[in-house]
Chain A
Amino acid sequence: MKRTLLGVLVAAGLAATAVLAADAATAKPPLGLPPVPIPADNLQTPEKVALGDKLFDDKRFSATGQVACATCHDSKKAFTDSPLRVSDGIKKAGKALNGTRNAPTVVNAAYFDVQFWDGRSPSLEDQSQHPFLNPVEMGLKDHQPILKIVRSDPAYVKAFEQVFGKKGAQVTMKEVQQAIAAFERTKVSGNSAFDRYFYGGESGALTDAQKRGFDLYVNKGRCVSCHRIEQTQALFTDNRFHNVGVGINDIQKDVPALAGEFLQAKATLAQVDVKVLGDKRTSELGRFAVTRDFEGLGAFKTPTLRNAAVTSPYMHDGSLKTLKDVVVHYNNGGVTKEGDPVNDFLSGGIRPLNLTEPEIDDLVSFMEALTSPEYASLPSAARMEVKP
């Protein structure tokens, strides 16, 4: 390296930028969140993150060349495809294929212990490989088309060499997945009005309705035990799986047959991936499809509530359109229509709440306070009466 003053300054400037960018995920976490968990074998670098971003956006990684990760996890929609109930995958005969599950946000997904609504994937790295192969998502038969592109496209060739020191056949799906995961780990956001109020000491950050909503959230609403808030941080998830009476209510009579079929199939993770997105009724088995454990019947992972107001619709099947619909579902004790029969496998944490209308509205207001500044300009679907 040239030891001229300019050279030193430029190097220092670059180094500083590198430090700043690399620290995006490893520096002081956003207000209200802990440091992002980063695996020892996939450390963050700005170049890796940039590569991951490029891969995330690449539509060529689909059977029709029209669908990328970013199609359903759109950065302009807080990394969802709101207001779609379930995502549109590749098109067949001019019509987009649909799955059975609502696209969860990538924002703060780095804090989950496992990925997907049913937790079938153990990490961000692992998760990223599956949608490519799912027939209703990106529809590839195998990962070869992806590898072909990343091994030959000049921009990718340069990037993989720089980031991983690998080229040609050395570049495998592992590197692709690691880059995507690294990019996703930079999508963390806190610093919402709630965070400023509860962790930042700004007593004026919440409105009165939101403060009342917060009290309900912890007490009468019974939200905090699954959507965790703690003394110094709030992930809004317990990283566990619960049957809250969405979806499974519609297949109650079919559970024995569906469960039995599923047990006999003895599926691998990849097979589970295809089956649960391909058949709605099987999808409602939830975590059970992954663990074959009774406790998982109809159970899905507790999502984070951060940015909920801008990531409608809600629940694993996108069946609840507004935040108010969600609160009403819980208020009814785990049924969407009050008075409907509750399913036999309902989580022990779910029961009727006896909230009044004003209390329901206050809870909704509180959830609107969980939106991070980066996404605050998105239309809040919290109260929109979206037409069915």
Chain B
Amino acid sequence: MKRKIAVALAAAVALAVVGGIAIQADEFTKKDQERWEKEYMSVVQKGRALWTSPQLGTNGVACAQCHPNAANTHPETYPKFQQQLGRVIALREMINWCIQQPLEGKPLALDSPDMVALEAYVAYERRGVALAPGKH
């Protein structure tokens, strides 16, 4: 009985492949990957725009003024104990700290698209650096 089912399955798959339908496929197609890469980069660009924008705060200061190319943000060290908040935090909480403190603005919701964009930009500029969570 098992052998019959196996044969039937094999036949079905063969048909599907021959028919050009990737019903069960786990692989991403090249087209999908390219498209998603572009979508990702558009969010990185959005993050860059926010990074250089005076609109995140209320005093005209932009993240890029102290962090050109997001340098010195050490995203690879998060989560870590952040003395300015008195506890272990994730990167986005520090982004909010900076928005509130030097930029004198209102914090973003932790799941807001703008916050994701900012994190995407920070990570992108730090690509290639090994994780070192908790490091100071």
Contact = CB atoms under 8 A, between A and B. Distances in A.
A219 B87 CA distance: 12
A224 interface: yes
B112 interface: no
Given A230-B81, A231-B81, A218 B100 contact: no
Contact of A224 (B81, B84, B88, B100): B84
Dominant secondary structure at the A interface: loop
Interface string B68-111: 00000000000001011111100000000000110000000000
User: What interface size band does chain B fall in?
Assistant: under 10
Interface in A105-147: none
A167 interface: no
A224 B101 contact: no
Contact of A231 (B87, B100, B101): B87
User: What interface size band does chain A fall in?
Assistant: 10 to 19
A228 B83 contact: yes
Contact of A225 (B81, B83, B88, B100): B83
A228 B83 CA distance: 8
Contacts of B87: 230-231
A222 B97 CA distance: 10
B100 A220 contact: yes
Contacts of A97: none
A57 to B, nearest CB: 38
A234 B87 CA distance: 11
Interface string B101-133: 100000000000000000000000000000000
Interface of B: 81, 83-88, 100-101
Interface of A: 218-220, 222, 224-225, 228-231, 234
